[in-house]
Chains A and B, each alone.
Chain A
Amino acid sequence: MKGKIILTLALFSSLSFCGEQFSMSDADRALYEEMKENNPADIMLADGEELFEDIGGEKALAKFLGVSEDDLPSYIAGFPRYVKKIGLVVGLDQVLQAMMYDKGKKPFKLKSKKMFNMVAYVKSIANDEKINIDVNADPYIKAMYKLGKKVFMTKRGGRGLSCNSCHSPSVVGLVLRTQKLPDLGSNGAKSAATWPAYRMTKSSLRTFQRRFQGCMKNALLKVIPIGSKQMVALEVYLTEQAKGSKIEIPGLKR
């Protein structure tokens, strides 16, 4: 136990040290911001659009979800949510799997490129909408929010870290290797609005849950599968923090 505390402290002291050494200037950040104009993921979304049209597109999705096509963008902006037809709180990717299944097609795996492309396109239908998740809408999502908070706060793995250890309000201003650590634990944390995103260091499009996996792996936490109850719950929790943020898909991240 004591060992873990020391390790955690060591991690943070090195973080703040890096902050003094290698913090990017605002001008640099503006340059990276400008790169969003030409996001390589735009091509991947174009592919996702074709795949989505193959299973009926917006019309079919609206029908599946029981909403009008006009209401589809704002409805998408409320995911993850409880979907009656599936009987679970699910992400958009799982809805697309169910649609594929209904069509008699073999659903794409949740962790496949095709699914990432398609779900990114589908979420981009809600671009400029504000995230409107309602974690009090029904007992199912209420329970998922609670579980998500637990997943976020639970310390585990080799270093005894939780998501909260590095992504709470108390890390604001700290920098890990030129990166400002995002505070994901407070209201107004916008991350959920900019995933799926193109990861420059991975040269690929990644979803929010895929990003959680990368973070877990590097922080020595056992990686939770995409689409599992815990993972969807974590997305619910972080999406609630981003409530009201404007959706801008695809994001562009380091």
Chain B
Amino acid sequence: MEARKSLIKIKPKRYKNGDIVKVSFMIMHPMYTGASKDKKTKKIIPAKYINSLKFIYNGKEITNMKVWESVSTNPVFTIYMKINGKGKLTVKYTDNTGESGERSKKIKPKG
């Protein structure tokens, strides 16, 4: 399967060590609740939703989330993170059908 499209955004774009930045993770995922019907076939669409997220900064898990089906389609998750050295931030996800994936972003503090 083609990798699911996702994105990590850090605000502000320029930051230095010690700064607390906003981190947003976005992913194209249908987040089907299992209760909706396909408009064309009238069949129930089976549940498929992200159920777990982990935010890992330089090998250390700083935040994890248990996600439920009421989170919107193409979800966005935002937290804060304290910048503490260069390296990378990885967000790992799994969904209720066993699909999993990850997205990383380089962390490059200025000064």
Contact = CB atoms under 8 A, between A and B. Distances in A.
A37 interface: yes
Contact of B11 (A37, A42, A43): A37
A56 interface: no
Contacts of B30: 203
B7 A42 contact: yes
Interface of A is mostly: helix
A236 B83 CA distance: 48
A43 B72 CA distance: 16
A47 interface: yes
A43 B73 contact: no
Contacts of A47: 5
Interface in B1-46: 5-7, 9, 11, 24, 26-28, 30
B74 A203 contact: yes
B39 to A, nearest CB: 12
A5 interface: no
B10 to A, nearest CB: 11
Given A38-B24, A38-B26, A46 B5 contact: yes
B5 A38 contact: no
Contacts of A46: 5, 7
Interface string A31-66: 000000110101110110000000000000000000
A46 B5 CA distance: 9
Contact of B76 (A40, A44, A203): A40
A37 B78 CA distance: 11
Nearest to A204: B74
B45 to A, nearest CB: 13
A56 B72 CA distance: 35
Interface string B60-92: 000000000000111010100000000000000
A116 to B, nearest CB: 14
B5 A42 contact: no
Contacts of A43: 5-7, 26-28, 74
Given A38-B26, A43-B28, A203 B73 contact: yes
B30 to A, nearest CB: 8
Contacts of B11: 37
Contacts of B74: 40, 43, 203
B28 A40 contact: yes
22 contacts: A37-B11, A37-B24, A38-B26, A38-B76, A40-B26, A40-B28, A40-B74, A40-B76, A42-B26, A43-B5, A43-B6, A43-B7, A43-B26, A43-B27, A43-B74, A44-B5, A46-B7, A200-B72, A203-B30, A203-B72, A203-B73, A203-B74
* 5 nearest A-B pairs in the assembled complex, by CB-CB distance: A40-B74, A203-B73, A38-B76, A38-B24, A43-B5
Interface of B: 5-7, 9, 11, 24, 26-28, 30, 72-74, 76, 78
